[in-house]
Structure 1
């Protein structure tokens, strides 16, 4: 007797769950920057540490927003979406990057004005 060849049946491959482009945008552009600003806000008297913490939280949140918008654009291109979707996400990315850069610049100006206010109060108190 000869052994019969066994046709192997491979179990179906697990599909990895893909994260959506809109989820990346929602999390990275809205939720993470908002959470960082809430967590690192100075709820007491304004101090140098508090002013620096708030400025760095703004910069970190906007950096995450920029990276998230770029990631959503890369996902759109890599997954082979149609040209209108790619153009739409390119426009969204450009808008997010522009607003984030202006927000980072505003955070620097706000930090300087807060540090000036702190210095004036310290001068009046001292």
Structure 2
């Protein structure tokens, strides 16, 4: 904490604490959703848009994993109930890895679809 002398008295300013719930909500829900919406393909499916959408999904889930790890670190640092947050972190990480795998499968499917359309139109 920081202290300042004011008229012979010491005033202690409390430091702002980052809340675990804020880290988890932003990192697991808000940021991945914003990335997905910002990098989604709202037009025809192209190789660029397929790669962009898959990259957004992987980036969002990477942020979710890092947020879960950050929440565990905050819990250890503050000496709070570790068991509950570890269970939550394992669930988040497992879901994120599953979502990353699904993004890879979707990318392969999209690229196959693009290749099939190009073959049918003789490009």
Q: Distance in 1 between matches of 2:112 and 2:119?
A: 10
Distance in 2, matches of 1:77 and 1:26, equals 19
- The runs of at least 4 aligned residues of structure 1 exceeding 3 Å deviation read none
2:105 aligned residue: 109
The alpha carbon displacement at 1:19 in A equals: 1.2
Kindly state the Cα deviation for residue 79 of structure 1 after the two structures are TM-superposed: 0.6
The TM-score with structure 2 as length reference comes to: 0.91
Give the Cα–Cα distance (whole angstroms) in 2 for the partners of residues 11 and 34 of structure 1.
45
Task: Give the secondary-structure state (helix, strand or coil) at the position aligned to 1:13.
Answer: strand
Residue number in structure 2 paired with 1:35:
34
1:14 aligns with 2:17: no
Is there any run of 5+ residues in structure 2 with no aligned partner, and where? Answer: 1-6
Query: Would you say 1:121 and 2:117 are equivalent positions?
Result: yes
Q: What secondary structure is seen at the aligned counterpart in 1 of 2:12?
A: coil
Q: Does 1:89 align with 2:85?
A: yes
Structure having the higher Rg: 1
The number of aligned residues is 116
TM-score, normalized by length of structure 1? Answer: 0.89
Superposition RMSD in Å: 1.1
- As a proportion of its length, which structure holds more strand? 2
Stretches of structure 1 lacking an aligned partner (at least 5 in a row): 1-7
> Structure 1 residue 10: deviation in Å?
4.8
Q: Give the 3-state SS of the residue equivalent to 2:82 in structure 1.
A: helix
